Structure formats: C-alpha cells, structure tokens
DNA sequence: ATTAAAACTTTGTAATACAAAGTAAATTAA
DNA sequence: TTAATTTACTTTGTATTACAAAGTTTTAAT
C-alpha cells in the first residue's frame, strides 16, 4: 500500500510543488523569471520561497552583476526530499498496473 | 512547460488524493475499510468524501445485506479527472529526463 | 429492551493560500 | 542631481479548509 502519510506537505502544495519542479529542472532561477513562469504574485511567491527555505529545501544568492537579482537553488536536502516525494508520485501513477 | 494551473485542487489534497487512489485501484470501498486503510477520523473522511461527491467524482450505494454498509465508487467523470491529474504527475516525475 | 455499530453532523481551532498595497534599496533616466 | 523605475521584499486582511472530538440517528444483533 502506498504510504500517503509520507507525502511531504511542504512540497505537496501546488505553488511550492511548481517551484520545486522548476528548481529541479535547472540549477537556479531568479525571482523575476520564476514569477513570470509561474504567474504568482510577489507576496505569494516569496512566502512559498520562504517556507521552502525555512524547511532547508532551498537557498538564495544575490547576484551583483548589473541590476540586483536573487537566485534560488535547491539544497542537497531539498533535492533528496524532492526525490522521495517523486517516488510516491511514481507509486500513485503506477499503481493501476499492479 | 508543465501547466501547474491545471492541477485539480480537489484531487490534489493529500486526504482526497489517497481516497481517489484507493477507489481507482479497486471498484468500490466501504466506509469502514477506507477508514482503516487511511487512518482518518470519521469526520475528516466523510467531509472529504462529500467534497468529492459534490465535485461529481464519486458516488455511494447503501448495501442492505446484513449490517448497513455504504459503498463508495468513482463516477466516470471521477475516473476521467483522476486520469488527467495522473498525467500531470507523470510530467512532473519525468521532467528531469527531458 | 439494551447494547453496539455504521454513517453521519456539529462545533471549534489552527493553519494557510493568496492578493493587494506598501516599503527600502539600488539603478537608470531626465 | 533629482526623479522615476525596478527588485525584492513585508504587511495586512480575507477566505478557505483540514482535522479532531464529540454528539446524533438509524439499524441490527443479543
């Protein structure tokens, strides 16, 4: 049986799931690009980024070339937990075949 | 790009996702068996079942043999929407490979 | 008649997603 | 040099909702 209790609530929420998926697909994303890509409001995006950072799943680095830009990237813990999460998704997707 | 907006919020919530996955794995489940399997409280389970029923994703049938038992099963709309949802999960799971 | 079980309802709390508007610091345009 | 703009926030407020606990109703065993 799939253990639904193990679904990480922080990752599972729609907004944060999209952030985690973006960050997993590419090394790093800056605030503006994520905002455009995900069409979230500033306040909502930054709040989700903060929850993920508080969970230790991502970090940021300010880039000083030209305009101020903040880059976000997954920590190794973030990658690990996201992979765990993906394994549960896989089980859900594949369960019919069993 | 994965369209996260298309994630059905009714299905996506942890509790309801587990219900939908159960029902998709087998024709029907009664209230007690779901409760045991998912370890939810009566109130929580029935509330989620009601939301899913209000969305038209499942239905129930009272069984009259012996003790009263209520069986729950997916509607065709429920199956369809769940399959749509699974396709997005697949995209998330597979995106790294692209 | 009493007990017990199934399937609810009600009530209350705590969490949280989200938008909108405001702020501060840095950068560019005038 | 001053004004306008942009980035990355914070603050505030609303509305939704997950969840547990306890109570209710109906039916069926004993």
How confident is the model over B19-69, as pLDDT tens digits? 999 999 998 999 999 999 999 999 999 999 999 999 999 999 998 777 789
* CA–CA distance, A48 with A31 (Å, rounded to integer): 12
**Percent of chain B whose predicted confidence (pLDDT) is above 90:** 86
Indicate the residue of B4, B93, B95 with minimum beta-carbon distance to A14: B4
**From A9, which residue of chain B is nearest by alpha-carbon distance?**
B14
pLDDT at B98: 57
Tokens describing residue A52: 């993920």
Burial label for B59, CB within 10 Å (0-12, 13-18, 19+), is middle
Domains of chain B, by residue range, sit at 8-92
Q: What is the architecture of the domain spanning A7-92?
A: Orthogonal Bundle (1.10)
Which numeric CATH code is attached to B8-92? 1.10.10.10
């Amino acid at each position: 049986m799939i253990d639904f209790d193990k679904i990480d609530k922080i990752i599972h929420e729609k907004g944060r799931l999209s952030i985690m998926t973006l960050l997993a697909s590419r090394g790093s994303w800056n605030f503006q690009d994520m905002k455009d890509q995900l069409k979230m409001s500033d306040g909502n995006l930054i709040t989700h980024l903060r929850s993920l950072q508080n969970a230790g799943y991502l970090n940021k680095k300010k880039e000083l070339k030209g305009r101020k830009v903040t880059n976000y990237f997954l920590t190794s813990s973030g990658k690990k937990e996201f992979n765990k999460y993906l394994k549960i998704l896989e089980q859900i997707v594949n369960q019919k075949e069993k």
